Structure 1
């Protein structure tokens, strides 16, 4: 289990690096597939500490945002999972998201957060699969 956690953390760090190195792209024309991949604005607002975020660019299923809650700059990337199975099947849940945040005023860089969409039982085990397979 510890190896899986280390690999998951490593994959998240690599993803942070890729996103931070990605050049800013001009916004292409919107189509239905890209609109479906965009996270809901409420999730972006939650990641920005309640401030209204600004979309900087869309990189596949990841959106890069900036916001300034209480005058403090926050930058983050946000994505929805391509699949989110529940146990038992069809269990009600809020949307799930992954965030990678940078908050310079707090000296926080590339902080990874996962919102799974519901409260888990304390002490229970969870797994996160990054990539295919």
Structure 2
């Protein structure tokens, strides 16, 4: 992953986590096939996350910007992992982002250019599906009404997630 992509993802994650003021530039910890693991220091402690970029982006005729699927682990958080989608464009307010892992669908709520699990209790189910899955697809609707979809490789996601289990 290029430094531009890394910094864009880190900036988005920092801004959305509210830790931008106290955070530093993220450090890439490791690369596991198509998933990288990263960390940065925030006021509440170290934040670790895994991140991947899509293999395909549809429709091909539009500028998607930088697109990421990430799963973070934040210090002091009640949940172990927090899945998030970061788009390179504003999402339609009130729409849902649908994450599909091998036919099992999860809904995410939209805020700005990002989306998070609608039901936080399903976060562990999505993470388990990612670890055991073969394919990941994300469907979204831009602010302009363009229906977009992305496919990701899950090669390396389990190793990447395992690498941040003891993030401190």
TM-score range, shorter chain: 0.5 to 0.7
Partner of 2:54: 81
Partner of 1:57: 30
Q: CA RMSD in A?
A: 2.8
Q: Does 1:110 align with 2:76?
A: no
What is the TM-score when the length of structure 2 is the normalising length? 0.47
Task: Choose 1 or 2 for highest CA Rg.
Answer: 1
Partner of 2:43: 70
Structure 2 unaligned regions, length at least 5: 102-134, 137-150, 152-168
* Mapped partners of 2:36, 2:64: distance in 1: 22
Shift in Å, 1:60: 0.7
* Greater RCO structure (CA 8 Å; 6+ sep): 2
Map 1:15-30 → 2, pairs under 5 A: none
Structure 1 unaligned regions, length at least 5: 1-34
What is the TM-score when the length of structure 1 is the normalising length? 0.57
Q: Compared with structure 1, are the counterparts of its residues 127 and 59 closer, same or farther at alpha carbon in structure 2 (3 Å cutoff)?
A: same
Q: Number of aligned pairs?
A: 96
Q: Compared with structure 1, are the counterparts of its residues 124 and 77 closer, same or farther at alpha carbon in structure 2 (3 Å cutoff)?
A: same
